[in-house]
Structure 1
Amino acid sequence: MDFTPPQKRKAEESIVPMINVVFLLLIFFLMTSQITPPEPFEVTLPVSETLGDAESELTLHLSKDGDVQFEDFTGETAWMRLGGRIDPQTVVKLRVDAALPAPKLAQVMQRLSPTGAASVEIVAVQK
């Protein structure tokens, strides 16, 4: 006769449902997030007393040396690509380095004038 007690079964909780939930959340956040591309070069934004919302799909980047970049294009190619995307309702967002000399900014603004953009908004940080 065997008088040993029967082996007790451990109550095992499955971790599979928790893993499924974590993966579903991961997929949800990856699908709903908007990944922004990195800035083409370091830009120290100018300081402003008040801030408004600079909302635009078209962003033109200006470095402190006057280099221009639009999307992945630089120089004259950037100007050509930007000009092809502007219509009378377009608002252009300008990310300008604070160290850019004012005459170079004036040249850029003159170059943007004949493109027909509705307005140009300069991005700044609040004081």
Structure 2
Amino acid sequence: MHIDMPRRKPPGESIIPMINVVFLLLIFFLLTAQISPSTPFPLTPPDSSSDETTHTLDVLYISATGDLAWNEARGEAVWPLIADRQDNAPVQIRADATTPAAMLAAHLKHLRSVTDSGAQLVVNKG
């Protein structure tokens, strides 16, 4: 007389090591990510072949239609805030690639009248 015992399933491979690797990768990417503030409106910066990069917290954004943004200020309200800055660092400008040159020149002229710190135009490296 022979009794058939139910066969045991072989133990499956543990997924815990894979979960550990995924969490380590997640932590790595979170720690190495560069978090930057979002633009106040959609911008497509022009391309550049320069390797030079600039970093600043205060940026003057200029949209394709000429809208201005500086921190929380919008429109013509940006000029008094730029003039009242404490530091003498150049003003960083991020303009849309389709912003007309005449409009950009007018904003640069106005910028020159409210500050003497100069300006840096930020473009994408192409």
Give yes or no for TM over 0.5: yes
Normalising to structure 1: TM-score of the pair?
0.68
Q: In structure 2, how many angstroms separate the alpha carbons of the residues matched to 1:14 and 1:60?
A: 53
Instruction: Answer yes or no: is 1:16 the counterpart of 2:11.
Output: no
Instruction: Give the structure 1 partner of residue 32 of structure 2.
Output: 32
Partner of 2:123: 124
The CA deviation at 1:19 is 0.7
- Which residue is equivalent to 2:74? 74
Mapped to 2, the partners of 1:100 and 1:19 lie a distance apart of: 51
Instruction: Quote how far apart the aligned CAs of 1:101 are.
Output: 4.7
Residue number in structure 1 paired with 2:42 = 42
How many residue pairs were aligned? Answer: 123
Q: Helix, strand or coil: the match of 1:107?
A: helix
TM-score for the superposition, normalised by structure 2:
0.68
Percent of aligned pairs sharing the same letter: 37
Q: Decide whether the 8 Å contact of 2:60 with 2:94 is kept in 1.
A: yes
TM-superposed CA distance for 1:125, in Å, is 4.9
* Residues 71-101 of structure 1 deviation map (CA, whole Å, 9 limit, x = unaligned): 333124433444444522x132212233335
User: Paired residue for 1:56?
Assistant: 55
Q: Using the alignment, how far apart are the partners of 1:111 and 1:81 within structure 2?
A: 13
Say which SS state the counterpart of residue 20 (structure 1) adopts: helix
8 Å Cα contact 1:51-1:124 kept in structure 2: no
**Does the alignment pair 1:100 with 2:96?**
no
The residue aligned with 2:109 is: 110
Instruction: Provide the C-alpha distance between the structure 1 equivalents of 2:55 and 2:91, rounded to a whole number of angstroms.
Output: 6
Give the drift of 1:40: 2.3
Residue 41 of structure 2 aligns with an amino acid whose one-letter code is F
Q: Deviations over 1:40-88 (max 9, x none)?
A: 223344466x535240313211123321112333124433444444522
- Shift in CA distance, 20/85, structure 1 to aligned 2, threshold 3 Å: farther
User: Following the alignment from structure 2 to structure 1, what is the Cα–Cα distance between the partners of residues 46 and 86?
Assistant: 25
Q: Hey, what's the Cα distance between the residues in 2 that align with 1:112 and 1:33?
A: 33
**Structure 1 residue 8 displacement after superposition:** 4.2
Any gaps of 5 or more consecutive residues in structure 2?
none
RMSD of aligned residue pairs (Cα, Å): 3.1
The aligned amino acid for 1:109 is: L
- Matched to 1:99, the amino acid is T
